[in-house]
Each structure stands twice: as structure tokens, then as C-alpha cells.
Amino acid sequence: MLLRSSSAVFTLFCLLAPVHAQSAGGGSPAQQPGYTLQTTTRIVLTDVIVTDRKGNPVHGLRASDFQIFDNNKPQVLSSFEEHTTTPIAPIEQASTSPGVYSNKFLLHLPPVLNIIVIDITNLELPDQMYLYYELNRFIKNLPAGQPIAIYWQSAEHNLMLQNFTTDHALLSAAVRKAIPHFPPPARGYYVDSGFIALQAIEHDFEQYPGRKNILWFSGGSTLFLAPDPMDQNLGPFAYPDPDLLRTIYDGLEASRIAIYPVDARGLQVVFGPLAMAVGAQQGLMQDIANATGGTAFYNNNGLDKIAAHWLDNGGSFYTLTYSPEDFRFDNKWHKVKVKLAPEFSGYTLSYRRGYFADGSSGVPHNEKPRKLLLAGGSPLTTAPDQQSIPIVFEVRVEPASPEPASSTNAAASLNMQTPKKGIIPYSIHYSLPADAFTAKTVDGKSEFDIGVAVFAFNNEGSAEAQLADRVTIVVNEDKLRMHPKASIPVDQQINLHKGQKYLYLAVWDMTSGRLGTLQIPFTVSKQKTKKF
């Protein structure tokens, strides 16, 4: 239920970077029952969608029906799972009472997350209005219990208008906020905004388990992703920054993000040079889909039917994992190719076409325990990495009291600032689960080292305020053992301008690196003073 801004993404990266660096260097690695991964082992996870000639998913295939190649070398599958679309129970809403918000919905997420991006960077107003009509038809016919998140993208701004919800009214409201808007003046096929948007989405959902399917509506993509990013024939689309290149592709792989580009302009009948330009745009959309394991849609006026087809079939796929032999962490691009047995030659395969051979693992740590196939076919289940399990917490946001905070708070209230004229102070009261944090010993005492941060944005995606604090809590281990589910209270105060705002809150364990985030829309209004 929020927005994201490019400045916030990179600011949060900077805040969390020391945490991850610290956690990587200290402590013992999590124990994995039954086997040990060596430093030269790289697990590659590939989601494969198999469709027939009509575009419908194919079910019932076996592991022996698949062949997978890494740089043209045949590989032995370590695991194989089929996923099918199943009915989903409604998820818990982020807000259960006025002013109180929680990310408890993370505890009951579906196995596949569906995200819609409305990118107006190259989308003219008439096409936006048609998209508005079609998306509302799609939302009206959504099956009960089907959660969706909605983003809005416009050049340098990227906003999450609605986090995952099954509430059709909230989804429709998010579409109304997204369109219509005048497109930005600076537009083109390949601009940094597309990558900023993608990095924001990667960051928002990097700790969410499962596959993420993104239906990306645009009027000519501003995002360029090649199935082989090291192709020497990319020309103007070649990447000038190899580090950024690896970061983007690693994030897509680790978060299991598949992009489904949709040309929101619908059926186009064009001739001459314009036809060549449109053809190039559609080829670009096809490249994006091939690079991430999605499907491109263009020259089709049935935008609501495209969305419905995407939703119905996006949860049907096969997950394959393998460990390449003689693997070297050399940062080079590895091409992945998946084939079916000859008797299935009429089927179409969609999957991610490769990965960089760096320290990034293709198996996200936050996945549910996965069954591996060992020699002889016996299964082995691996344990998830606790560091990557999100911290589930609750916050209460309310106008700041002029009175000092209660001394009973386990952590003193932080950054109680004197607001300037025209700015309204708000208090953020965190309730953090004690069992989510790792105690460390300092001078003979057990302590929790906790980081909290809040970012505030306006309706246009511009950052208005940000605040980050580090809190040290002395732990009474005897009481903690008696009450392991105890809550840790932490307070912050942030000064906000009046109007519609979006808040992004982050909580993390400075010792283990474990993180939790929460995104909420919020209306700041001047409080009436009671007269006595």
C-alpha cells in the first residue's frame, strides 16, 4: 500500500549495507541437515512454463521429460517440482484498525505473487484511458481471494500504490491514482527509469518467497533486458556498467521475477518508418520476456483478457534446480537452455535464459524447505535460511504528543524533533517481536542491536523526509526465556507536510542482518485542538 522512490531505494541500500557486511563476517553458518555446499558449488534454480499451441499450460510432465544445459553442457537435475494454480485464501490486510499497521500478511502469502506495473512513460492519454477501462473490468471479475499488488511508473518516479490485497475497491482505487497522468516530456526506449523501477520492485519483494509474475503495461518499454546480456551485437542497448548489469540480473534471478510486457496501445495498424519503430518496440518486449521467463503481449485490444489469462496460468510451472559441474566464480555469463523430449516438440517453453557466475545463488534463502533428489532417487529436505525470513512487526502511527514519552518504553523515544511551521509531527510506535532478534554479548551483558528507519514520500514519488536510528536493548535472558514472544517497543518521531503521503518502514537486526519492511499510505492532516 505504498510508493517507492529511486532515492529511497538507494538510501535504504546504504543503510543496510553495513548490516549485511557485519552479519556475513560473524557467527557460524546455518546448519543444513544431510549435506554441505562447497565454495565452488552453485545451485541454479530455473522456473519453466510449458504451454501448448493455444497458450494453455501443460501439466503432468516428469523430470525425465526435461533436459537442461549450462553453457551447452548437459546437467543432472537436483530437484524437480510441478506447480499448479490453486484457489487461494484471502490474505490478512496490512491495517486492521485506524492508525495500526502490520506486515502479518507475509505469514500467509500464496506460492506465486502477481504484480501489475502501470508504466505511463511512453503511454499517451487516450491509451491510458482505455487501459483504465480494461483494468477495472479485469479487477471487477477477479476471483475471490486472489491478491495483487499495483505499481505506477513514470520516468524517474516509481510508486507502489497498493500492496498485496484481495480487496477489489482498493485495487480500483490504485488504478485511479495511476491513470490518467500526462506522460513525462523526456521519453525513450532505453532510460535509467526502467532499471530504477525494476530495482525498486526487486528490493520490495526480495524477501518474499516464491515466484513473482509482473504484468508490465507500457506504450513502448523503457526497460531493456536481453536474453544474453553479453551479446556483442546489442549495439546501442549494450550495458556501459558491468556492475549494474550483474546487480540487475542477480536480483531478478534471486527474487524469481518474471516479466510479462504488455503493449497497452493495443492493436496497431502502422506503415513505413513508424511500422519499423513499433516492430522494434515489440521485439524489445519479447527480449524482456525471454530474459526473465515471462511472455510478451502486443497487438491485442483485449487488455483485460490478457490480464485474466496471465493470472489464470501464471501459477502453472515447473521448478528445476541443478549444480553445474566444474563451476568457477568468474562473473561470466552462463547460458541456460531447457529442452523437452522429442514427443513434446509442439510445446513452448518460457524460462530465464542464463545467470552470472558470481556469489549470487539461484535458490533464494527464503524459500520453503525444498526436496532434493539424491543418488537413487531418495529425497533430502534442506532448511531455509533464518536470516532471510522477514521480521513480522506492527506499528501505530499517530499525531505526536507534546508530552514526553513514557519512561516505561524499553527504548527511549528517538529523534523527538521540534517541527517547523506548516509541518506536523507524527509518532511511530513500533512493536517488535523479541524472538526475531539475535542477542550478542557486550561487556558481559546480552544486547539486541536494532535498526529502524522510516521514509516519507508525496504523491509524485518525491522523498520528503527520512529517519534512521540504531537502538541497543539490554536483554534479561531469564525473562526472555519465560516470555519468548515478548514485544520490544521503539518510538520514532517524524515531521510531515500535510496531504497524502506514503510511508516505507524498515526494521532490521544489526547482528544477524534479518530484515522486515512495511509500506503504508497515510493522510497527514492538521489536528484540531480541543478547547476547555
CATH code, domain carrying 125: 3.40.50.410
Does residue 255 lie within any of the structural domains? yes
pLDDT of residue 133: 96
Supply the pLDDT for residue 29. 33
Let me know whether 61 and 12 are in one domain. Answer: no
Q: Is 426 domain-assigned? A: yes
Per-residue confidence (pLDDT) for residue 374, from 0 to 100: 42
What pLDDT is stored for residue 45 in this prediction?
Answer: 93
Q: Residue 503 falls within a domain, yes or no? A: yes
Task: Give the torsion through C-alpha atoms of 104, 107, 112, 118, to 10 deg.
Answer: 10
Contact 217, 303 (CB under 8 A): yes
- Residues 288 and 191: their CA atoms lie apart, in Å, by 15
Classify the C-alpha dihedral 367-210-256-372 as positive or negative: positive
CA distance 386 to 356: 25
Which 3 state secondary structure label does DSSP give 105? helix
Grid coordinates representing 375 are 543418488
Residue 91 falls inside a structural domain: no
| CB count in 10 Å sphere of residue 356 | 22
Distances (CA, A) of 99 to 359, 394, 396, 454: 41, 11, 6, 16
Among the three residues 332, 350, 384, which one is the final residue of a domain in this structure?
384
Does 170 lie in the same domain as 123?
yes
Do residue 347 and residue 400 come from a single domain?
no
Q: What is residue 193's predicted lDDT score, i.e. its pLDDT? A: 62
Assess whether 141 and 187 both reside in one domain. yes
Structural domain total, the chain: 3
Successive 10-residue mean pLDDT values, the chain, 532 residues: 38 42 34 37 91 93 96 94 74 73 84 91 92 96 89 80 88 93 66 71 79 92 82 67 83 92 86 77 89 93 93 92 88 94 94 87 46 43 58 92 51 52 88 92 90 86 86 86 88 89 89 87 70 45
Q: Which of 261, 276, 309 delimits the end of a domain?
A: 309
For position 100, what pLDDT does the model report? 92
Query: What is the predicted pLDDT for the residue at 16?
Result: 45
Q: Where are the strands (E) in 324-444, listed by range?
A: 333-340, 348-350, 354-356, 371-373, 379-381, 394-399, 423-433, 440-442
For residue 365, is it within any domain?
yes
Do 51 and 133 fall within a single domain?
no
Q: Domain boundary residue among 384, 405, 423?
A: 384
Q: What pLDDT does residue 475 have?
A: 85
Residue 209 makes CB contacts below 8 A (sequence gap 6+) with: 109, 111, 364, 366, 367, 368
Q: What are phi and psi of 164, to 5 degrees?
A: -60, 125
The answer on 264 and 187 residing in a single domain is yes
Residue 204: inside a domain, yes or no?
Answer: yes
* Amino acid at residue number 246: R
Q: Which domain holds residue 338?
A: 44-84+317-384
Residues 274, 151 share a domain: yes
Q: Are residues 176 and 141 in the same domain?
A: yes
- The confidence score (pLDDT) of residue 243 equals 79
- How far, in Å, CA of 155 to CA of 126, rounded? 19
496 and 363 in a common domain: no
- Regarding whether 168 and 61 lie in a shared domain, the answer is no
Count the alpha carbons within 13 Å of 390 in the hemisphere toward its beta carbon.
24
Domain match, 446 and 458 both: yes
* Angle, helix 192-205 to helix 242-255, in steps of 10 degrees: 40
Handedness of CA 225, 231, 234, 236 (dihedral sign): positive
In this structure, are 356 and 380 located in the same domain? yes
**Beta strand ranges found along 458-498 (DSSP E):** 463-474, 487-497
Residue 100 lies in a domain: no
User: Would 366 be classed as within a structural domain?
Assistant: yes
Specify whether the CB–CB gap between 407 and 491 falls below 8 A: no
